[in-house]
Chains A and B, each alone.
Chain A
């Protein structure tokens, strides 16, 4: 079955330190991969996407993610966390032939402390 797994439900980092949010997907086909962010009481905003071009994808707000086919991973990173990064982050996958139906991971809540 096609699935996406976010390994951490909650990540806490100090402001100014690196962020790593982990994501793995099942490997039946070559998917399109996305990271979305949801701030409290807000909608889902696209951070970045991978669609079979460069494996290192740069997104908004300094975030980037690397597609590693051998590891079926698409981890999200940021060199230096900011307080405004505190939010829920979703790794999302779309498989070929599914009319862009998105499958969401369970989400990782990022907490940023002073």
Chain B
């Protein structure tokens, strides 16, 4: 069964460092998403991406965040200069054109020290 894969599963970084989280969506999907879940809190929408551009972003997704689909398979989330409060589980998701169902990866846990 096709699935969304994310790497790394866990990353520890120092405050101020750049982090790139990678995702390989399901191959025929065209819509891509990043969500995050701070420990003990709800899952929050960050950004949606379609046709090589951001279609919607939340207020969390400030100038420190960026997304890219560099090669037609990977979908990346970059945090330019990490802060302590960026520590969270980051989930990538994708969906096909004709369905509202999002398929999620297993998440990348980011710990900022």
Contacts and interface: CB of A to CB of B under 8 A. Distances in A.
Interface residues of A, number: 22
B101 A104 contact: no
Contacts, number: 53
B49 to A, nearest CB: 10
Contacts of B95: 100
Nearest to B106: A43
A83 interface: no
B43 A100 contact: no
Nearest to B105: A43
Contact-residue size bin, chain B (C-beta under 8 Å from the other chain): 20 to 34
Contact of B48 (A36, A90, A99): A99
A73 interface: no
A94 interface: yes
A62 B89 CA distance: 28
B56 interface: yes
Contact of A101 (B41, B56, B101, B105): B56
A33 to B, nearest CB: 10
B4 to A, nearest CB: 8
Contacts of A46: 101-103
Contacts of B33: 101-102
B44 interface: yes
Top 7 closest A-B pairs, CB basis? A43-B106, A44-B104, A104-B43, A106-B42, A43-B104, A32-B100, A100-B100
Interface of B: 4, 31, 33, 35, 41-45, 48, 50, 55-56, 91, 93, 95, 100-107
